[in-house]
Amino acid sequence: MSTNVVTRFAPSPTGYLHIGGARTALFNWLLARQTGGKMLLRIEDTDRERSTDAAIEAIIDGMKWLGLDWDGETIYQFARAARHREVAEELLARGAAYRCYATPQELDEMRELARKESRPPRYDGRWRDLGGTQAEADAIAEGRKPVVRLKAPREGETVIEDKVQGTVTFPNKDLDDLILLRSDSTPTYMLAVVVDDHDMGVTQIVRGDDHLTNAARQTHIYQAMGWDVPAFAHIPLIHGPDGAKMSKRHGALGVDAYRALGYLPEALRNYLARLGWSQGDREFFSTDELIEAFSLAQVHRSPARFDYAKLENMNGHYMRAMDDAALLQQFLAALPYLPDGKDMAAQIDETKKRQLARAMAGLKERAKTLIELAEGARFLFARRPLAYDEKARDLLNEGGRGHLAALAPKLAALPEWTAAATEAAVRAYVAESGAKLGQVAQPLRAALTGRTTSPGIFDVLETLGREESLGRIDDAARPS
RNA sequence: GCGCCCAUCGUCUAGCGGUCUAGGACGUCGCCCUUUCACGGCGAAAACAGGGGUUCGAGUCCCCUUGGGCGCGCCA
């Protein structure tokens, strides 16, 4: 057990918590829980234009739904702007940073020129050593507002020892002098993230590999301040099913969308963890097992594609493995988020709960998601007379109705209404009529559920109860 | 364009120089079970991107090519 591990999840509240972010959060969480350390949640809201409260809410809601809790209060980065500025001032005082008066237009020209000369498009450092000169005096006289830039090393190279990527080396000449403070004197992400991670004692940074280059640049800030550089782990981004970057186009929205799709949080955690991380051939890990087994060393460096079919399959396994009462709880909790789930939720009472509990074993066997579970349970919520789907209607032909009419009195005469008793009655009828079981059971299913697929028909009879069952059978037996 | 990263079945992956005529899972396709649909069981098709090396021996190490990803903002 390593000591004092501190990880953090640091989303920017410019949108929902997307699936890649959720996985990053999961990995951070796993690491913290595994070592008995802490995971912090820090909202990176230094971009005031694009940060929204709705996004913050969505992120927190998503984290909670996924079961990823964090230690301490949620930290809002913008609230720490004064401290960030303070560090920038210190950097300035140390000569490790400087004021740059270049205008946006000049910057554009610089990039344009660099492109033309096929150099990397970067700031050329023209204000690096102009502090206190006539040029600066002129710029100030013109009323130009400077940004503060880090005086980054131009020679040599910066080496990142990454837990996932291994040793990665960047030539310093390719890293330019990043902006610490904007011309309105607000801190940038580059500065804020380093100051916060340092101040909060973060020991292990796990984030998307789109930040890999940033790690090198941020290292320069740590070095300039004489701070310890935390351990890095840059994990690959998740790609959409087509191999391209995950985007709205793939229907891959926030984690709330996965809740609405009827997935169980524990199944999603398992799936997400297995995406780009593996331990031999093993597919299933309970959350406790995940905490135990997870290791950055086994995180792959190549991006993985998101595969809904596999998630769905895994979700189905989780549903079937879960005990009925627990699954019912999950189902009830998710219902309001499911498509058309609100109507069903409104009809839930003690009777319905009892029926759902009774039917759960048969229902979960046939569902890979909670949506499918709701779909399968619809016959419990239907009111007489039932609407039959096309295939059910076909089964309720003359022959089918005949069987139902003949069967009805036998069922009605039953002293007790259980699955076993109804089964005995139906089988007895089948034997004496010479029909095949399917020829009777299928019309019965159509009559009771309005469909051709459902849980075992005798369970359906018991769940629905004598009165409702008989009523539905009578409805169907009548010629339409 | 420059820099960094990556590359085993359609997808997620096992593989860490010989045990690989490449294993598992999802998906697909058969068959079985069966009152429907599922579940489950059995089986099949399906991959080491290409080319050079190193080595007695390469999916495993090195190089190149190709292909993909990420970064290059007064965004985070």
Q: How far is the CA of A137 from the C1' of B73 (A)?
A: 27
Give me the phi and psi of A20, to 5 degrees please.
-65, -40
Q: Band of the pLDDT at A3, cuts 50, 70, 90?
A: low
Residue A385 neighbours by CB under 8 Å, 6+ apart: A475
Q: How far is the CA of A162 from the C1' of B61 (A)?
A: 22
User: Which nucleotide is nearest, taking the CA of residue A427 and each C1'?
Assistant: B35
Q: Measured between alpha carbons, how far is A444 from A400 in angstroms, rounded to an integer?
A: 8
User: Which nucleotide is nearest, taking the CA of residue A362 and each C1'?
Assistant: B38
Q: Measured between alpha carbons, how far is A216 from A160 in angstroms, rounded to an integer?
A: 7
Task: Assess whether A248 carries a catalytic annotation.
Answer: yes
Residue A182 neighbours by CB under 8 Å, 6+ apart: A147, A188
Nearest to A292 by CA among A25, A67, A31, A69: A31
For residues A72-77, average pLDDT: 96
ipTM of this model? Answer: 0.94
Question: In this structure, what DSSP letter does residue A18 have?
Answer: B
Is residue A88 within 8 Å of residue A149, measured between CB atoms?
Answer: no
Q: How far is the CA of A313 from the C1' of B30 (A)?
A: 21
Q: Strands A157-162 and A166-171: what pairing? A: antiparallel
* Protein residue with the closest CA to the C1' atom of nucleotide B34: A438
pLDDT, chain A, mean: 93
pLDDT tens digits, residue range A405-457? 999 999 999 999 999 999 999 999 999 999 999 999 999 999 999 999 999 99
Q: Band of the pLDDT at A122, cuts 50, 70, 90?
A: confident
User: Which nucleotide is nearest, taking the CA of residue A47 and each C1'?
Assistant: B75
Q: How far is the CA of A160 from the C1' of B54 (A)?
A: 29
Q: Measured between alpha carbons, how far is A51 from A57 in angstroms, rounded to an integer?
A: 11
Q: Which pLDDT score, from 0 to 100, does residue A190 have?
A: 96
Q: Which pLDDT score, from 0 to 100, does residue A184 have?
A: 94
**Token pair for A365:** 């066997």
**Is it the case that residue A151 has pLDDT exceeding 90?**
yes
Q: Which residue has the tokens 């030539």?
A: A171
Q: How far is the CA of A451 from the C1' of B65 (A)?
A: 59
Q: Measured between alpha carbons, how far is A340 from A131 in angstroms, rounded to an integer?
A: 65
For residues A330-359, average pLDDT: 96
Q: Measured between alpha carbons, how far is A162 from A479 in angstroms, rounded to an integer?
A: 74
Nearest to A40 by CA among A2, A87, A75: A75
**Is it the case that residue A2 has pLDDT exceeding 50?**
no
Q: Band of the pLDDT at A113, cuts 50, 70, 90?
A: confident
**Is it the case that residue A124 has pLDDT exceeding 80?**
yes
Q: How far is the CA of A320 from the C1' of B59 (A)?
A: 37
Q: How far is the CA of A139 from the C1' of B37 (A)?
A: 77
pTM score of the predicted model:
0.93
For residue A40, the SS3 value is: strand
User: Which nucleotide is nearest, taking the CA of residue A179 and each C1'?
Assistant: B74
Q: Measured between alpha carbons, how far is A161 from A166 in angstroms, rounded to an integer?
A: 6
Q: Measured between alpha carbons, how far is A20 from A239 in angstroms, rounded to an integer?
A: 9
Alpha-carbon dihedral angle through residues A78, A82, A85, A91, given to the nearest 10 degrees: -120
User: Which nucleotide is nearest, taking the CA of residue A426 and each C1'?
Assistant: B35
Is residue A38 within 8 Å of residue A233, measured between CB atoms?
Answer: no
For residues A380-393, average pLDDT: 93
| A123 to A143, A170, A330: CA distances (angstroms) | 21, 17, 54
Is residue A70 within 8 Å of residue A120, measured between CB atoms?
Answer: no
Percentage with pLDDT > 70 across chain A? 97
Nearest to A39 by CA among A78, A1, A10: A10
User: Which nucleotide is nearest, taking the CA of residue A169 and each C1'?
Assistant: B4
| A393 to A5, A389, A398, A401: CA distances (angstroms) | 63, 6, 11, 10
Q: How far is the CA of A280 from the C1' of B55 (A)?
A: 28
Q: Measured between alpha carbons, how far is A460 from A445 in angstroms, rounded to an integer?
A: 8
**Is it the case that residue A340 has pLDDT exceeding 80?**
yes
pLDDT tens digits, residue range A38-68? 999 999 998 888 899 999 999 999 999 999 9
CB atoms within 10 A of CB A83: 14
* Protein residue with the closest CA to the C1' atom of nucleotide B74: A182
Q: Band of the pLDDT at A247, cuts 50, 70, 90?
A: low
Q: Which pLDDT score, from 0 to 100, does residue A112 have?
A: 82
Helices (H), A280-397: 287-293, 308-321, 324-334, 341-346, 350-364, 370-376, 378-381, 390-395
CB atoms within 10 A of CB A281: 5
**Is it the case that residue A229 has pLDDT exceeding 90?**
yes
**Token pair for A345:** 């939720």
For residues A276-294, average pLDDT: 95
Of the candidates A64, A248, A310, A353, the residue annotated as catalytic is A248
Q: Measured between alpha carbons, how far is A151 from A129 in angstroms, rounded to an integer?
A: 9
Q: Which pLDDT score, from 0 to 100, does residue A246 have?
A: 67
* Protein residue with the closest CA to the C1' atom of nucleotide B6: A302
Which nucleotides along chain B are within 7 A of a protein C-beta? 1-8, 10-15, 23-27, 35-40, 68-76
**Token pair for A402:** 């005949």
Q: Band of the pLDDT at A248, cuts 50, 70, 90?
A: low
For residues A361-368, average pLDDT: 96
Q: Band of the pLDDT at A1, cuts 50, 70, 90?
A: very low
**Is it the case that residue A146 has pLDDT exceeding 90?**
yes
Q: Which pLDDT score, from 0 to 100, does residue A111 have?
A: 84
* Protein residue with the closest CA to the C1' atom of nucleotide B24: A281
For residues A355-376, average pLDDT: 97
Give me the phi and psi of A282, to 5 degrees please.
-70, 135
Q: Which pLDDT score, from 0 to 100, does residue A125 have?
A: 86
